[in-house]
């Protein structure tokens, strides 16, 4: 127990078990032990402990870490409030009273937030790596499908032709923004709170800059009250997980639709699909469905912590120990989803034969036709109306624009001539795009080259 001197009775056993966060914050054991080693070095530097005591304490901390890694030591949440008290108890068993010297000038309040910041920096970096891998996988697929034409949609209605590569690159852009947000979390987490104590620092001559350098923090927290009570970096981490899962969920929705018999666009590998307990013919995109479904839990984790913090006065409050279960859960779901998405995406086979046949019987090139009229000098408003009438004619006669003859076109409007026929050629539609960021194969190849260089 890290406290108890002013109490005359032992804490109720039910209370201890209810209040214990050990099952959650044991995930911070590596960061806790690293902090303990560096803190002991600093205490030796300022003369609070001797060099002999430093060796004793750090050797014991190494042993605790090894015991935990080998499952020799498993602290019981019915005995300990948290990972801090569990480590200190074991440290006492190994070193005796010397263990108590490690607490000089240090509170659980600044300990836990230091370890949590270290964990957030490490974990945000790991997710960035997973996103980078996923982007590379998408780029490899995009490179194979620069001229694979598929319908682009707005309002889930066919809008204009795009390439599969262009569609995939849209997600590469999303993933890049996810990485930028994670970089901001790393930057926000990179301030050292250790030395702030419980609320107002210490009268001991603690060397905060020594701690900052040895624990690899960029700067010190400026205000001890804010240092121990700030969880904005946790909320921002959760926000990154939420937006990232939202992006994966959108992608999963498309993969699920694309894999249906009605679309006939993709086949997901057997290793990332499941069957039905009743219907022998079924091949279900369960991985995509589960990622889409688990996004809801990640969203609720964000809401949980921001709601947790909204009514807390300065500075530290015990409520804050409830920040870890949602944080760790969101990290686990998001990181595993990224790994599974990369694995699943690499098994997908694309075949746009069916979609191409549908597009050739459609009016998906109506906007291209309107632009053709604009180049003939027709105001776009009037061009829009002319092509609208053309679309109505196609619908009534069950034809695509590509099926129309010059005679039929001139019945709609005499301005049409032979040159419009080329506009209705679906295969050349992407090459006509003029604006950067469009699915013109020239621009798409430039984007792929840029991404390959940046990601490698």
List, for residues 276-296, the tens digit of each pLDDT value: 999 999 999 999 999 999 999
DSSP 192: E
Quote the pLDDT of residue 3.
44
Residue 349 burial (C-beta neighbours within 10 Å; 0-12, 13-18, 19+): exposed
Please state the pTM of the whole predicted model. Answer: 0.94
- Please report the DSSP string for 130-162 in residue order: HHHHHHHHHHHHHHH-TT-EEEEEETTEEEEEE
- Distance, in Å, from the CA atom of 327 to the CA atom of 134, rounded to the nearest integer, reads 22
Query: Over the Cα atoms of the chain, what is R_g?
Result: 31
The structural domains of the chain, ordered by start, are: 13-104 (1.10.275.10), 109-351 (1.20.200.10), 356-455 (1.10.40.30)
Tokens of 412: 């709609």
- Distance, in Å, from the CA atom of 109 to the CA atom of 224, rounded to the nearest integer, reads 10
- Distance, in Å, from the CA atom of 165 to the CA atom of 269, rounded to the nearest integer, reads 20
- Coil, helix or strand for 4? coil
Beta bridge partners of 267: 349
pLDDT in tens, the chain (456 residues): 554 555 556 666 666 677 789 999 999 999 999 999 999 999 999 999 999 999 999 999 999 999 999 999 999 988 898 999 999 999 999 999 999 999 999 999 999 999 999 999 999 999 999 999 999 999 999 999 999 999 999 999 999 999 999 999 999 999 999 999 999 999 999 999 999 999 999 999 999 999 999 999 999 999 999 999 999 999 999 999 999 999 999 999 999 999 999 999 999 999 999 999 999 999 999 999 999 999 999 999 999 999 999 999 999 999 999 999 999 999 999 999 999 999 999 999 999 999 999 999 999 999 999 999 999 999 999 999 999 999 999 999 999 999 999 999 999 999 999 999 999 999 999 999 999 999 999 999 999 999 999 998
For the beta carbon of residue 361, count every other beta carbon within 10 angstroms.
14
Residues annotated catalytic, as ranges: 155, 276
- Coil, helix or strand for 274? strand
Residue 223 burial (C-beta neighbours within 10 Å; 0-12, 13-18, 19+): middle
DSSP 284: B
Place of tokens 């204009």: 160
């Amino acid at each position: 127990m890290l406290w108890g001197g002013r109490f005359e009775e032992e804490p109720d056993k039910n209370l201890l078990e209810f209040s214990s966060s050990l099952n959650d914050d044991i995930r911070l054991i590596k960061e806790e032990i690293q902090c303990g080693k560096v803190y002991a070095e600093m205490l030796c530097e300022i003369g609070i402990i001797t060099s002999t005591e430093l060796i004793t304490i750090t050797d014991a901390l190494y042993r605790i870490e090894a015991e935990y890694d080998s499952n020799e030591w498993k602290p019981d949440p019915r005995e300990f409030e948290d990972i801090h008290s569990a480590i200190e108890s074991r440290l006492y068993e190994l070193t005796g009273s010397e263990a108590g010297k490690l607490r000089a000038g240090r509170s659980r309040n600044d300990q836990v937030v230091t370890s949590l910041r270290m964990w957030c920096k490490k974990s945000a970096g790991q997710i960035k790596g997973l996103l980078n891998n996923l982007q590379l996988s998408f780029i490899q697929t995009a490179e194979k499908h620069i001229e694979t034409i598929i319908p682009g949609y707005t309002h889930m209605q066919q809008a204009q032709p795009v390439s599969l590569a262009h569609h995939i690159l849209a997600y590469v852009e999303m993933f890049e923004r996810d990485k930028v947000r994670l970089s901001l979390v790393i930057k926000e987490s990179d301030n050292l709170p250790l030395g702030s104590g419980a609320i107002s620092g210490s009268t001991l001559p603690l060397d905060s800059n020594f701690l900052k350098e040895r624990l690899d923090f960029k700067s010190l927290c400026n205000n001890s009250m804010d240092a121990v009570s700030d969880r904005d970096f946790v909320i921002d981490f959760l926000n990154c997980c939420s937006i990232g899962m939202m992006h994966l969920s959108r992608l999963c929705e498309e993969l699920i639709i694309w894999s249906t018999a009605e679309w006939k666009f993709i086949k997901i590998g057997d290793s990332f699909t499941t069957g039905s307990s009743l219907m022998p013919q079924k091949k279900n995109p369960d991985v995509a469905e589960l990622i889409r479904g688990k996004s809801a839990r990640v969203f609720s984790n964000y809401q949980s912590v921001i709601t947790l913090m909204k009514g807390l006065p300065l500075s530290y409050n015990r409520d804050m120990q409830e920040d870890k279960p949602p944080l760790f859960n969101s990290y686990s779901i998001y990181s595993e989803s990224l790994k599974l998405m990369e694995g699943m995406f690499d098994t997908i086979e694309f075949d746009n034969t069916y979609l191409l046949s549908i597009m050739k019987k459609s009016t998906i090139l109506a906007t291209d036709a309107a632009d053709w009229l604009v180049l003939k000098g027709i105001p776009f408003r009037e061009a829009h109306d002319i092509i609208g009438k053309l679309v109505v004619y196609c619908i009534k006669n069950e034809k695509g624009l590509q099926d129309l003859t010059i005679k039929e076109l001139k019945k709609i409007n005499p301005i049409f001539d032979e040159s419009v026929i080329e506009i209705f050629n679906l295969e050349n539609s992407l090459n006509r795009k003029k604006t950067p960021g469009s699915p013109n194969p020239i621009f798409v190849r430039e984007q792929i080259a840029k991404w390959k260089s940046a990601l490698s």
